[in-house]
Chains A and B, each alone.
Chain A
Amino acid sequence: MSSSIYKTLFLCLILPATFSVSAADKKKEEEVVKVPLYQGLQIGFDLVSPAGYLISDSYGASIKADINLWNKYFPTVELGYADFNKTSEDGINCTSSGQYVKVGINKALSYGGNKAENLFFAGIHYGFSTFSYNLDNLVYYPNYWGANSDINSLQDQKATTGWIELVAGVRVLVFGPISLGWTAQYKSTLHVSNGENSIPAYIPGYGENFKPKLGMAFHLYYKLPF
């Protein structure tokens, strides 16, 4: 067979494949273009913290917002306040209060609905808090001299803390613009600046100061109409 026949045969085999690859690319491109960038803004309210003193030593309140981008990425920011009051078995009393902020991003692992109204997600957040605390009825570690310091309380200790959270959760549409969401948190402090005479026992937004730790959050969401 002459070389020209081979060339013709080759072109006949290659051209359909080229057209089909282009068609696949175009369909994929169309699918990506179909989901707009901005898919909505949800405001969330913490349902557990305000009732905290009924079940723990702390209470607080927080509000969060997350933006739906492409039904895929959900940048989120949360502002909150927390209060803590605990007395140890030895009688040491710690009271603490302060504000915190968390920023991060969640990624949809799977979703349902045109605008991801039902969502299963995972994410990473950074939290930061500045706060003050008081320590009363101080108990001292025993020593050779059997003597203790005369200082019985430490007032107005100030500290700042940053921590990281790995989260996973679900958000479920209840009715209309209302959703409920549960989030599991795995947290660890990154940096803690101690008080003048103390290590903070409690960090607003994080919890009692040990690492790592697990947490749980429960939010009511409202989807804004724009």
Chain B
Amino acid sequence: MDVKVYCSFYSQTLKKAVQIDSVTVWGVGSDSLIYSNETVSELALELNPKVQETKYVVQAIASGYLFKDTLTLKYTNQPWFQSMECGCMVFSTLESIVPTGTIFQSATILNPKIINQKTKHVVLNI
């Protein structure tokens, strides 16, 4: 029952979905790693329910070089009561996602509704 933003990767050169090697991801302001030096075909990122802007650092190693990009996500929040057993969660409506441009050239929002269903929300263009 996770509420996450699912971001896939698209290579504008190869004209297809791709995966990225040696990816490490963490939230700005958090010490925990979401991904630690992994090969991933998509990112699943949780939004901070207390604020309306969340930043994630995406680090990748390619050809021996370290690349870092910061994704800034802006959104509005809405609490959602699921059941007496499951409690509450926070749904969001994504307004924008902007990379710094080091790894990702741009981002496209496919579905701005971030709820407890896995679907493609964002495409990060490489």
Interface residues of A (CB under 8 A from B): 86, 88, 90, 92, 94, 135, 138-141, 143-145, 147-151, 154, 195, 197-199, 201, 209
Contacts and interface: CB of A to CB of B under 8 A. Distances in A.
Contact of A145 (B30, B78, B80): B30
A90 B87 contact: yes
Given A140-B49, A140-B89, A144-B34, A149 B77 contact: yes
B86 interface: yes
Interface string B75-88: 00111111111111
22 contacts: A88-B85, A90-B87, A92-B88, A139-B87, A140-B49, A140-B79, A140-B88, A140-B89, A140-B90, A141-B82, A141-B86, A143-B49, A145-B46, A145-B54, A147-B48, A149-B50, A149-B88, A154-B79, A197-B79, A197-B80, A198-B81, A201-B81
Given A145-B46, A145-B49, A199 B32 contact: no
A148 B88 CA distance: 10
B77 to A, nearest CB: 6
Given A139-B88, A140-B90, A199 B50 contact: no
A199 B30 contact: no
Contacts of B84: 86, 88, 92, 94, 201
A148 B87 CA distance: 12
A86 B46 CA distance: 31
Interface of B: 1, 3, 27, 30, 32, 34, 46, 48-50, 54, 77-90
Q: List the 5 closest pairs (A to B, CB-CB), nearest first.
A: A198-B81, A147-B50, A88-B84, A139-B87, A144-B46
B90 A149 contact: yes
A147 B85 contact: no
Given A88-B84, A138-B87, A144-B27, A149 B79 contact: yes
Q: Is the interface of B mostly helix, strand, loop or mixed?
A: strand
A124 B81 CA distance: 32
Nearest to A148: B49
Given A143-B46, A145-B54, 6 more contacts: A90-B87, A92-B84, A143-B49, A144-B30, A144-B32, A199-B81
B74 to A, nearest CB: 16
A141 B27 contact: no
Contacts of B77: 149
A138 B34 CA distance: 27
A138 B87 CA distance: 7
Contacts of A150: 50
A144 B50 CA distance: 12
A57 to B, nearest CB: 10
Given A90-B87, A154-B81, A141 B1 contact: yes
B57 to A, nearest CB: 14
Contacts of A198: 80-81
Nearest to A209: B83
